[in-house]
Structure 1
Amino acid sequence: MDTTTVQLLCPECTKDWQVSPDELPAAAEMFHCPNCHASHRTAEFMRTDRDLQTLKQLG
């Protein structure tokens, strides 16, 4: 079975990675970069609009 993932990109340190949407807080909630610990709304870490839509649908 394929697992859906979203691509993330830290707006501060530019770390990029993939994670399952169910492992993330809601789009409007705060999320912390595992690399530099920057705090932003989860939506701001989404690499593309498609990733954001996937988060909103499945997260």
Structure 2
Amino acid sequence: MDEAAVQLLCPECAKHWRSTPRELPAQGSVFHCPNCHASYRIAEFMRTDRDLSTLKQLQ
């Protein structure tokens, strides 16, 4: 079975990547962009509302 992935987009440097919810911190936690190291709540990195919904459902 394929694991779901969410799309992330850094609000500062616009880096775009995909990750599985398992690889991300809990919803509401601070996350750091692997490219520019900007720090925001993980929800701020979700590219779409659907990605945020997927993160909430699978964590």
User: TM-score, structure 1 length as denominator?
Assistant: 0.95
The share of aligned pairs that are identical, in percent, is: 71
Question: Helix, strand or coil: the match of 1:54?
Answer: helix
- Deviation for aligned residue 1:26: 1.6
* Structure 2 unaligned residues grouped into runs of 5+: none
Matching residue of 2:47: 47
Q: How many residues were matched structurally?
A: 59
Paired with 1:17 and 1:5, the residues of 2 have a C-alpha distance of: 10
RMSD over aligned Cα atoms = 0.7
* Structure 1 unaligned residues grouped into runs of 5+: none
Paired with 2:42 and 2:6, the residues of 1 have a C-alpha distance of: 11
4+ long deviations beyond 4 Å = none
- Deviation for aligned residue 1:27: 1.9
